[in-house]
Structure formats: C-alpha cells, structure tokens
C-alpha cells in the first residue's frame, strides 16, 4: 500500500465529504495517492515518491505540469486583466481565436470558447441543431464526450442511464465504431443534425480507425444534410503529430471541439471551432448562448500561450522523436511480453496498450504506479491501458518509462493470474 500518514488522513476525510466510492476504489487498488510537488513530466506524492505522468489527464498536461511559460503568462495576465466580461469583445479573445483559426482547416471561420470539453460538446450539438433545424445526433457507442447533459447522452449510454437520463432514441443514435454501413442507414432517415465522432475513442482504449474512416464520415454526413463534429478533446493539440488528428486523417469537419490541453494545465478552457454554417446562430442571435465564463480574458491569455508553444518546430520535432521512440521500444516490449501485451495502438503519442486479459489494463495501471508511473486503464475496455506522455517529455524520462513498463508488464501478468483481481 502506497500511503503516508497525511495521505491517510486526507483519504479518510475524503471518504466522508468528497467521494466515498472513489476513495474505496483507490484503496482496493492498493494506493492512496495525494499529489504533492509537480513539474514537467513528474509529480510526487506527499512522501516525496516520484511518478512519471503517462496519463497527462487525457491531455490537460500536454505541456507538462506547471509549465514555466504558461505560469508566467498567467501571472503577467493577472497583473492586467481578470475574467473579463462575456458580453464584450476583447483583444485577448480575438488573439486566441485568430491563433485557433490559423491552426485549423481553411473552412473554419469562428471560435466559441468555453471552460470544459463536455460543455463545448453540448454547445457544438446545439449549434448543429440550430443550423440544420434537425435534432438527431449520431455518435459512437464506445465514445466519451463528457459528463454534461447532451455530451453524456451522446457518449456511451451507460453513463446517462446511471443518472436516469436514458437518451431518447428519436434524438440520439449510437453506432459501432468503424461501421460506415450502419452510419449510412441512420443518415438515410434524413433527420440527423450532426455526426459526432471522437477521432480515436480514448475511453475505449484508442482503437484505430479503418482507412479513410473520417473522410467517409464527412462525405456521408454531408450527403445526407448533417454536420460532422470532430471531438478532438483528447486527440487534438498536436498529440497525433498534427494540430488536429482528424486532419491527419484528411477529414475536414464542420466543427472541431477542443479542451483539456488548451488550459495549459492551469486555466480551464475549451473551444468550438466552426465553419460558417455551424456558426449561423451567431448571425441571428448572438446572445442565444452565453455563460458567465465564456472566453474569460485570463483563459484566453493562457490558451494563446499554449498555441504559441505548440507552433514551435522544436515541439513538433520532439513529438516526432517520442513517436518513433515509443514505436520502436513498445514493439520490443510486445515481442518480449507477447503473451500478455497483445497489441500496441499508436498514432503519434496517442497510445493504447492492449493486454490479453479483460482486466489487464487495470492490472497494468496498478503495477505501473508501484513502479513510479501513472497511467490509466481505458474505462470502457479495461484490457487496455491509455498511455499518453506530455508532448515535451525528454528522452531520459521516456527511457525510464519503458524500463518501468517492462517491469510492470511482468508484475501485471502475474497479478491477472491470481483470482483476487
């Protein structure tokens, strides 16, 4: 059990006033993690044990923990602005929108900024319904789009069912990933507002798309009068080696939804990037969608700095080097542990490690944390571990990850062969 006295106290209190089941689950896994110091690829627990962050909170820490440039931008920003006023335009909002549009396909014309990924998905769906005057949303049964109302109903329906919000089948259709025939069958009803696709479904363990999948999604959606929304919350922001992963697959969506890493790990920010059609509501009633923290000025300053960093050739070079390094070394580990590590899924530094056991991803998560690496199983397929370094990780750290993974693979294989898991 990894636990300090102080962490034990925090967990005991958390069980009472924070989240009893989460606390019980972490205890069952054998660790009571409370984060202490953090910097770059590393964080410590309260006893000073060091962990390499290979989850990066799904991309929140794309630029590492407490990135010094982001931190400085936030501090400098606090000297001159605050959240600002969501009613008024501002130079910081314009600056961020210009940078997001410059990094997006040419058809993109407007940006609407919010605070969380789920909130941005909700907004994108609303914009599509307004633009098309239709209501149905087609999405992947294996996707996760967030915990807000619409996003939750568009994702794997189990979560919505848990909250007694079973999606109305007239409004939501969940289809299988990589199944274009099923998509077309639903589109033929001619009542779909949008096809919402998580470019590589994270919570399903990053199964890779079939060839031309996203281009076909785009073509079919348009053929039947629907918009195509790409959920790039996990796959965007250079993680695939390109700004947007859907563009790497040569698809041009009508809306791109981004979040997580846009925050720089400091200030919650998300955005819907839209073409003219998707943004039509803003020419009809610009006050129709507001919230107090839309496009906060401090958030825009932080997100602008994130985009400045992502644009640097050295960052792209590092991502390409990490991609190659993990490709080579994970192949070696797969060879060595071939009975347990049955598949390595990879697109840039989006990675999923599929094991032979239905709970192998969970076992690997537990074994890794004991070896000083934090990575999270895929919730909808616990045989898989999500593996996401930050984009600036150095080679020395990447090497440590591989050697600790080697050890953890043996331990996890051992674990799944015992009946207690």
Ligand X SMILES: Cc1ncc(COP(=O)(O)O)c(C=O)c1O
Chain contacts with ligand X (rule: CB under 6 A): 58, 116-118, 121, 144-146, 198, 202, 231, 233-234, 259
Q: Which is nearer to ligand X, 155 or 337 (CB)?
A: 155
Q: Which two tokens stand for residue 259?
A: 């979040």
Rounded to a whole number of angstroms, the minimum distance from the CB of residue 259 to ligand X is: 5
Phi, psi of 50, rounded to the nearest 5 degrees: -100, 140
Cα dihedral sign, 284-286-291-297: positive
Q: Is the dihedral of CA 330, 336, 340, 343 positive or negative?
A: positive
The C-alpha atoms of residue 352 and residue 385 are separated, in whole angstroms, by 6
For the bound state, the minimum distance from the C-beta of residue 18 to ligand X, rounded and expressed in Å, comes to 18
Between 234 and 397, CB nearer to ligand X: 234
The label of the residue with tokens 């689950």 reads 25
- When the beta carbons of 129 and 145 are compared against ligand X, the nearer one is 145
Instruction: List the alpha helices (DSSP H) in 311-375.
Output: 313-336, 360-370
Of all residues in the shown chain, the one whose CB is closest to ligand X is: 117
When the beta carbons of 70 and 408 are compared against ligand X, the nearer one is: 70
Minimum CB–partner distance for residue 146 and ligand X (Å): 3
* CB nearer ligand X, residue 234 or residue 355: 234
User: Cβ-count burial of 376 within 10 angstroms (0-12 exposed, 13-18 middle, 19+ buried)?
Assistant: buried
Residue 237 CB, nearest approach to ligand X (Å): 12
CB of 309 to ligand X, least distance (A): 20
When the beta carbons of 93 and 145 are compared against ligand X, the nearer one is 145
Cα 252 versus chain centre, distance: 19
As measured in angstroms, the least distance from the Cβ of 58 to ligand X is 5
Structure-block tokens of residue 133: 């005057």
In the complex, the smallest distance separating the C-beta of residue 164 from ligand X, rounded to whole angstroms, is: 20
The angle subtended at Cα 239 by Cα 42 and Cα 213, nearest 5°, is 145
> Among residues 185, 162, 186, which one has the least CA distance to residue 173?
186
DSSP state of 209: P
CA–CA dist 160, 271 (Å, integer): 23
Q: Which is nearer to ligand X, 58 or 64 (CB)?
A: 58
Cβ-in-10-Å burial (0-12, 13-18, 19+) of 287 comes to exposed
CB of 330 to ligand X, least distance (A): 22
Closer residue to ligand X (CB): 19 or 403: 19
- State the nearest-atom distance from the C-beta of 204 to ligand X, in Å: 10
Whose Cβ is closer to ligand X: residue 186's or residue 245's?
245
Contacts of 71 (CB under 8 A, 6+ apart): 266
Residues 6+ apart with CB under 8 A from 306: 62, 63, 70, 237, 261, 262, 263, 264
């Amino acid at each position: 059990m990894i636990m300090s006295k102080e962490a034990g106290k925090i967990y005991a209190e958390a069980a009472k006033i924070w989240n009893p089941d989460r606390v019980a689950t972490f205890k069952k896994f054998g660790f009571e993690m409370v984060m202490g110091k953090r910097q770059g690829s590393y964080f410590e627990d309260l006893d000073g044990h060091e962990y390499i962050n290979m989850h990066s909170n799904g991309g929140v820490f794309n630029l590492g923990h407490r990135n010094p440039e982001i931190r400085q931008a936030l501090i400098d920003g606090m000297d001159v602005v605050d959240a600002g006023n969501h009613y008024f335009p501002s130079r910081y909002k314009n600056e961020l929108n210009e940078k997001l549009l410059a990094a997006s396909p040419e058809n993109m014309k407007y940006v609407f900024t919010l605070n969380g990924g789920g909130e941005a998905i909700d907004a994108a769906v609303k914009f599509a319904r307004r633009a098309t005057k239709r209501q149905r949303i087609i999405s992947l049964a294996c996707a996760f789009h967030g915990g807000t109302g619409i996003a939750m109903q568009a994702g794997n329906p189990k979560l919505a069912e848990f909250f007694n919000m079973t999606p109305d089948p007239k409004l939501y259709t969940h289809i299988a990933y990589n199944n274009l025939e099923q998509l077309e069958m639903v589109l033929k009803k001619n009542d779909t507002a949008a096809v919402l696709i998580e470019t590589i479904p994270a919570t399903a363990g990053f199964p890779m798309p079939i060839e031309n999948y996203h281009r076909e999604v785009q073509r079919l959606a348009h053929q039947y009068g629907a918009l195509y929304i790409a959920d790039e919350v996990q796959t965007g922001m250079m993680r695939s080696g390109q700004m947007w992963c859907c563009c790497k697959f040569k698809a041009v969506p009508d809306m791109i939804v981004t979040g997580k890493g846009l925050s720089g790990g400091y200030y919650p920010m998300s955005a819907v990037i839209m073409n003219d059609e998707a943004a039509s509501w803003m020419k009809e009633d610009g006050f129709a969608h507001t919230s107090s923290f839309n496009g906060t000025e401090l958030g825009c300053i932080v997100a602008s700095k994130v985009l400045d960093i992502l644009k640097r050739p050295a960052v792209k070079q590092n991502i390409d080097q990490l991609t190659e390094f993990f490709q080579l070394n994970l192949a070696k580990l797969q060879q060595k542990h071939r009975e347990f590590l049955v598949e390595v899924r990879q697109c840039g530094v989006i990675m999923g490690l599929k094991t032979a056991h239905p709970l192998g991803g969970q076992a690997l998560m537990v074994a890794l944390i004991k070896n000083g690496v934090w990575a999270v199983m895929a919730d909808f397929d616990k045989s898989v571990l999500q593996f996401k370094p930050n984009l600036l990780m150095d080679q020395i750290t990447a090497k440590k990850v591989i050697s600790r993974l080697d050890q953890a693979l043996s331990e996890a294989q051992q674990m799944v062969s015992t009946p207690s898991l």
